Structure 1
């Protein structure tokens, strides 16, 4: 039931930014963030992605950034391609909220790449062509991802 409620409320929350219900954009943003948090806590994947991104990049404390990472990872695990890419970037770089883990970063790049996420595919080409992130140069993997990149360019 709570997921169904979040599915119904999420579009309303997301639309708050565009509605001139209050004269203050800050009041709309605060209400929107509360709504995103509510939906994210109830498992709404897009809300987890958006709220996690907000907490990680705009959070004022290490605790908020850590919570943001948890929401991003949850959305990535649920198949959200943008969160998979974001998780890969965060794991590749590491921070006060997330320890660097290059093997996990490659995993998330691959998950997003398999769904056609262009930046992930191009990062994987670079990783396997140059032997980055602790992997050996792997021409077969590089060619696999290059083929995916070419298919994307042909489809565009």
Structure 2
């Protein structure tokens, strides 16, 4: 992302994030529309923080399936940019399966591992549990479970 686009996206995110809670109140439809528009634009520019925050909000609070799917897509983009929290959340999306992301143990493990390698404690715990229980198509291994327990 060019420096000017990065600055624009950062400003849009800051403004929209400050307005977000206010915009959720009844009767402020125009502010809500403006806030979402700023978030969509900043996410479209690839602003990692926007992709993470707005992606989470859409995934959890989206009113339609399309909004929840867009939230998952934004999280995947942030994960691909190396954001550990987004990688952890993307692992969960693949573990559970959510259109258009088909359930995939191997993709879930990949994203959990990427987050865990960056020290994300919940990703470390999930991998430890998966190795302990033989989940996510991983072989049961007390050695690997112990490794991820210590990493957490």
List runs of 5+ in structure 2 lacking aligned partners. Answer: none
In structure 2, the partner of 1:5 is 8
List alignment gaps of at least 5 residues for structure 1. Answer: 150-156
Instruction: Give the whole-Å Cα distance in 2 for the aligned partners of 1:60 and 1:15.
Output: 21
Q: 1:50 aligns with which of 53, 62, 66?
A: 53
> Any runs of at least 4 consecutive aligned residues in structure 1 with deviations exceeding 6 A, and if so which?
none
Deviation at 1:24, TM superposition (A): 4.5
The offset of 1:27, in angstroms, is: 4.3
TM (norm. structure 1) is 0.82
1:35 matched to 2:25: no
8 Å Cα contact 1:62-1:97 kept in structure 2:
no
Q: Provide the TM-score with structure 2 as the length reference.
A: 0.83
Q: CA RMSD in A?
A: 2.4
Aligned residues: 148
Tell me what 2:62 maps to: 59
C-alpha distance after superposition, 1:69-116 (max 9, x if no partner): 211100011122221111011100002332001111111111111222
